[in-house]
Amino acid sequence: MRCCSVHAYVVMPNHVHVLLTPEIELPKIMHSLKRHTARFANQILGATGQSFWQAESYDHLVRTPEEFKNIKQYIEWNPVSAGLAASPDEFPYVWCEEGR
């Protein structure tokens, strides 16, 4: 069983954006995502027993196809806006599905 359909994401130095369509309850998705990525990140950093993610997350219900398109474009271009790349293609931690 799939938990969600991912449409776009970007991993920035101090935050993450993900555009997804949940197929189960969103809190379950976020708990699993944060648990697995925190374990991996802490292994890389050599940290144990420390919190990696802040407790909060911000979710937003996308109501229209236009809003979906705008959010997807925002995610894709976030590294460019932050001065981390000249184009989304130059940033290794961004992905957007084609179309939609």
Question: Do the Cβ atoms of 42 and 48 come closer than 8 Å?
Answer: yes
Residue 91's Cβ-count burial label (10 Å; 0-12, 13-18, 19+) is: buried
Q: Dihedral angle at the C-alpha atoms of 87, 89, 90, 93, nearest 10 degrees?
A: 110
Q: What's the 3-state SS for the chain?
A: CCCEEEEEEEECCCCEEEEEEECCCHHHHHHHHHHHHHHHHHHHHCCCCCCCCCCCCCCCCCCCHHHHHHHHHHHHHHHHHCCCCCCHHHCCCEEECCCC
**Would you give per-residue pLDDT tens digits along the chain (100 residues)?**
688 999 999 999 888 999 999 999 988 988 888 888 888 889 998 988 778 888 777 888 999 999 999 999 999 999 999 999 999 999 999 999 985 4
- For the chain, the domains span 4-96
The CATH number of domain 4-96, selected from 3.30.70.1290, 2.60.40.10, 1.10.3720.10, 3.90.1170.30: 3.30.70.1290
Quick one: pLDDT at residue 98? 82
